[in-house]
């Protein structure tokens, strides 16, 4: 709490300076002039008394000024710690007047600076915590990105997003959907692999699968599994039935073309070559997790899948065999190599299917069934003109 200033404390430093100068200079000067003018050439009692008064006045003035110059020196010494960068402490000065005011203002400034310093330290700690959290978040984001990219190599980006965005305890719910199933298989793989070293077989499959899987993902397909030399993929799981069927057929033709290009490269290097056959079927299936509590696979289950696998067995080299429901969604320009009825085990009714070939010219029915198509095109031309021939 502020206290009422005494009379001595109320004197300003400027007044003290004037008093000190008067005692040390003005008063002795006036006294000396008086004595000189009145007591010239005399040594009297008044002269002695005047001299004593002059000396006393000078002593009092010197003491008066010395006291306050000492306060200024102490103030300067105490405030010199501001430039050292050390922690500031309030001044403890026995001062009065302006010096006391300066010391009080300085102490108020010290308190504000110390409070600001504490705030800065608190902010620094908060920033350190924030930087730590930001670093951890960045690492988690990097890990999540790497995981997404890794999973995308197996099941495609759309399926990964579905996994990541699932909110409940189950990653994926079992659901009934109309999907298009594709099976692609290397023809005469067993005979080819018997003539190769296991390391060469593995290298060949990795080279082949790298190209095929990229094509599946290009057309928004989901890679279900790789079984030996066989690829099983699902289309339309994240789109409509028609888009899934069209995407599967386009992917099948591109896979055939890409395989032909890959085999040309292998032939130039003197390596074994092969061709593939593809079966495609559209229908209702269950998408869900199958397995035990320790290991699960997200796959498709149903007769549509079994039929797709059976159609793949009917496909010759570089042929694409599709079921009737798939065929209904294809463009009117599709070219059909043959239309046939396939009798399946444990089925009373034969299965109607179509053999598609990526060429514009018509071929005889006999050639459609046995010839391998040599011509490759980037985008197959579709023509249903020959679809009316019954097999």
85-109 pLDDT, tens digit each: 555 666 666 665 666 677 677 777 7
Give the C-alpha separation, 108 to 377, whole Å. 86
Residue 360 pLDDT: 46
DSSP 47-96: HHHHHHHHHHHHHHHHHHHHHHHHHHHHHHHHHGGGGGTPPP--------
Q: Which of 237, 240, 235 is nearest to 218 (CA)?
A: 235
More confident residue, 145 or 370: 145
Give the C-alpha separation, 243 to 329, whole Å. 8
Confidence band of 138 (pLDDT split at 50, 70, 90): confident
Residue 108 pLDDT: 77
Q: Does residue 179 contact residue 287 with C-beta atoms inside 8 Å?
A: yes
Q: Does residue 66 contact residue 16 with C-beta atoms inside 8 Å?
A: no
DSSP 245-274: HHHHHHHHHHHHHHHHHHHHHHHHTT----
Q: Does residue 317 contact residue 255 with C-beta atoms inside 8 Å?
A: no
| pTM for the structure as a whole | 0.57
* pLDDT tens, position by position, 198-210: 999 999 999 999 9
Confidence band of 386 (pLDDT split at 50, 70, 90): very low
Give the C-alpha separation, 179 to 239, whole Å. 9
């Amino acid at each position: 709490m502020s206290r009422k200033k005494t009379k001595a404390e109320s004197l300003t430093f400027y007044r003290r300076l004037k008093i000190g100068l008067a005692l040390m200079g003005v008063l002795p000067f006036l006294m000396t002039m008086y004595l000189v003018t009145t007591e010239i050439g005399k040594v009297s009692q008044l002269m002695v008394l005047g001299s004593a008064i002059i000396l006393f006045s000078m002593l009092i003035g010197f003491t008066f000024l010395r006291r306050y110059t000492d306060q200024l020196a102490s103030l300067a010494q105490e405030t010199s710690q501001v430039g050292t960068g050390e922690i500031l402490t309030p001044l403890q000065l026995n001062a009065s007047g302006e010096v006391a005011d300066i010391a009080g203002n300085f102490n108020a400034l010290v308190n504000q600076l110390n409070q600001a310093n504490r705030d800065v330290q608190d902010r620094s700690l908060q920033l350190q915590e924030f930087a730590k959290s930001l670093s951890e978040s960045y690492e988690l984001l990097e890990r999540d990105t790497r995981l997404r990219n890794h999973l995308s190599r197996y099941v495609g980006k759309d399926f990964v997003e579905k996994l990541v965005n699932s909110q409940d305890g189950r990653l994926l719910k079992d659901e009934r959907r109309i999907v298009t199933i594709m099976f692609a298989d290397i023809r005469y793989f067993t005979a080819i692999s018997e003539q190769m070293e296991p390391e060469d077989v593995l290298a060949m499959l990795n080279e082949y699968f790298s190209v095929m899987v990229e094509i599946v993902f290009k057309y928004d397909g989901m890679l279900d599994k790789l079984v030996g030399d066989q690829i099983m993929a699902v289309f339309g799981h994240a789109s409509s039935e028609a888009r899934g069927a069209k995407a599967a057929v386009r992917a099948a033709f591109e896979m055939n073309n890409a395989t032909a290009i890959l085999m040309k490269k292998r032939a130039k290097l003197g390596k074994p070559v092969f061709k593939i056959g593809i079966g495609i079927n559209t229908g209702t299936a269950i998408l869900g997790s199958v397995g035990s509590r320790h290991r699960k696979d997200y796959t498709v289950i149903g007769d549509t899948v079994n039929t797709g696998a059976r159609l793949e067995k009917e496909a010759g080299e570089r042929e694409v065999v599709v079921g009737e429901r798939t065929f209904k969604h294809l463009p009117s320009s599709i070219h059909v190599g043959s239309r046939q009825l396939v009798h399946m085990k444990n089925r009373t009714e034969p299965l109607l299917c179509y053999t598609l070939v990526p060429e514009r010219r018509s071929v005889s029915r006999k050639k459609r069934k046995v010839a391998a198509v040599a011509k490759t095109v980037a985008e197959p031309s579709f023509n249903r003109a020959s679809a009316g021939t019954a097999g």
